[in-house]
Amino acid sequence: MPKSWDEAKILRFFKYLALAGFVLGAVSIWFAQDVDFEHNLRNLRRVSTEKTQAKKGIRTGVTRINNRSSSTPAAVMGSKAEQLDLLYDTLMVRLHVDHDTTLRSFLTLKTFVPPKDSQEKRLEVIEEIRELAEARVFDRAVGDDSANIATLRKLANVESTFTAEDIPDWALDLLREKDGSYGKIGFIYGDFPSWDAHALQNFQDRYGHWNFDGEDLRTFSSQFILSDVIDSVKKDSFRLALVIILVIFGTLVISFRKPKLFLAGCISFGMGTLLTLGLLGFLTDMFEFGKISIYNVIVIPMALGIGIDATIHMITSWIGDKDLTLRQLMDTTGRNVMASSTTTIAGFVGFLFTTHRGLKGIGDLACISIAMFLITSIIFTMYLCGSWLKKK
C-alpha cells in the first residue's frame, strides 16, 4: 500500500475491488457451467517432436481376421457355442442392416464355419462358377488372366461342406481357450477414434453388455477399463470437491465459532470458488484450455485447501489484535499468505514446461486456481474486515 494512503483510502480501494469482484462473480455464473472434463485423450499425451508421413493403404470394413489390428478388440466369452452364434447373428444385423458406424468387424467361430445349410447353398453357386471357369475359351488366356483363371479353377474345386476341424490351426487358435476348446469366445472390433472418451464410452455401452439365453456374457477390453476410469474420475471429481467444501465449512465453524466470522469466511471462500470456476469456464469456452482431466483432478483438494488458508489467517489476525490496522494486516499476515501461496505456485511452475500435456495440465490448473483464490481471499477479506468486522 502507498504510504500516503490512510485507513479510509485503503478500505475504499478494497471496496472498489470487492465490488468489481461481485460483478465478475455474476458473470462467472454464466461461464462456470462451461467447466468441462477433458475427453480428448490426445490432449493428455506427450507432444510429438517427430514428423510422420501417412502411409497409403486400403481400408476395408468387412468381417475378416485381417481387420483385427484396427483397434483393441472387446473379447466376449460365453458358456456355450450357441451363445456366440447368436452374437454373430446380432452383429451381422448391426453391421449390414443397421450400418452401425461404431462397429468395424467381429470374429467368432461362425465367421470361419458358416452353418451347414448356408454352405450347401454356397456350393451350388461354386459349382456354377466351376462350370464357367472350366470353359475351353479361358484356355487361351495369357499373363495375369491365365494366372487368375488357374487360381479360380483351383478354388472352385470343392464339393463338400466343412467343419471347424477342417480350418487351419492358425485360424482356430485365435478362438481357442486354454483347455483346448473353441467356439465360446469372440472378438468385436470398433470403428471409432480411440482418443475420444465419448466415443469410447458409447462403444462400451453398445457392445460391452450381452445377454443370450438369459445369461450375461462376460466382456473384456483394456479400452473398457480406460473408459471406466475416466467415467469414475469424472463423477468422483465433482463429488470430491463437494465433500471438501463441506469439510472446509466445518473447519470455519470450528475455527471462528461466531456466525459473523463464519459468514465472512464463507463469502471470501465462495467468491474465490465462483471466480475460479468462471475463469476456467471462460478459458475452456474461448481457448479449450484449463479443463479437468484424469491427471490434474488431484489439484482440486489442494487448491480448495490452500484457498481457505489465507482467509482464516487474515480474519484470525484481525480479530486477535484490537489495535491492528488494515495497513498492518496487509503488511504482516497479507504478505505471509502471499508468500505461502506464491511459493506453492512456484512449485508447480515446472509442470508448465513439460512436453507431456497431461502433466502440464496439473501445472495449469494449480497455478490458475491457487492464484485466483489468493487474490480473492485478500480482496474480500480486507474489505470485510474493514467494513463488516469493525472493531469497537
Query: Do residues 319 and 374 share a domain?
Result: yes
pLDDT of residue 62: 43
Alpha helices in 53-135 (DSSP H): 81-96, 109-112, 116-133
For residues 329 and 336, give the distance between their C-alpha atoms in angstroms, rounded to a whole number: 10
* Average confidence (pLDDT) per 10 residues, the chain, 392 residues: 91 96 96 93 80 47 42 88 93 95 92 90 92 89 90 90 88 87 92 89 93 93 88 88 91 89 94 96 93 92 90 92 92 95 94 93 96 96 91 60
The three cell numbers locating residue 173: 487358435
Query: Do residues 29 and 72 share a domain?
Result: no
* CATH number of the domain within which 291 lies: 1.20.1640.10
pLDDT of residue 343: 95
Q: pTM to 2 decimals?
A: 0.79
356: DSSP letter: B
For residues 90 and 87, give the distance between their C-alpha atoms in angstroms, rounded to a whole number: 5
The three cell numbers locating residue 182: 473353441
For residues 48 and 102, give the distance between their C-alpha atoms in angstroms, rounded to a whole number: 28
For residues 367 and 108, give the distance between their C-alpha atoms in angstroms, rounded to a whole number: 52
Pairing of strands 74-77, 185-190: antiparallel
Query: Do residues 203 and 265 share a domain?
Result: no
Q: In sequence order, what are the beta bridge partners of 75?
A: 187, 220
For residues 274 and 7, give the distance between their C-alpha atoms in angstroms, rounded to a whole number: 29
What is the number of domains present in the chain?
2
Is 2 a domain residue?
no
**End of a domain among 220, 245, 267?**
220
Query: Do residues 238 and 99 share a domain?
Result: no
- 475359351: which residue's cell? 137
Is 267 a domain residue?
yes
**DSSP of 68-88:** TTSSPPEEEE-SSHHHHHHHH
Query: Do residues 77 and 192 share a domain?
Result: yes
Query: Do residues 194 and 129 share a domain?
Result: yes
Query: For the segment 212-229, what is each residue's pLDDT rounded down to a tens digit?
Result: 989 999 999 988 888 898
Pairing of strands 103-107, 210-212: unpaired
**End of a domain among 198, 220, 242?**
220
pLDDT of residue 347: 94
Query: Do residues 154 and 209 share a domain?
Result: yes
Name the region of 326 (left: φ>0; alpha: ψ -120 to 50; beta: rest): alpha
Q: In sequence order, what are the beta bridge partners of 216?
A: 211
Query: Do residues 74 and 207 share a domain?
Result: yes
Tell me the CA distances in angstroms from 118 to 64, 69, 91, one per residue in order.
18, 28, 17
Query: Do residues 93 and 185 share a domain?
Result: yes
What percent of the chain is helix, strand and coil (3-state, nearest 5)? 65, 10, 25
For residues 104 and 66, give the distance between their C-alpha atoms in angstroms, rounded to a whole number: 12
The three-state secondary structure class of 130 is: helix
Give the phi and the psi of residue 291 in degrees, each rounded to 5.
Answer: -80, 155
For residues 337 and 340, give the distance between their C-alpha atoms in angstroms, rounded to a whole number: 5
Q: Which domain holds residue 92?
A: 65-220
Amino acid at 7: E
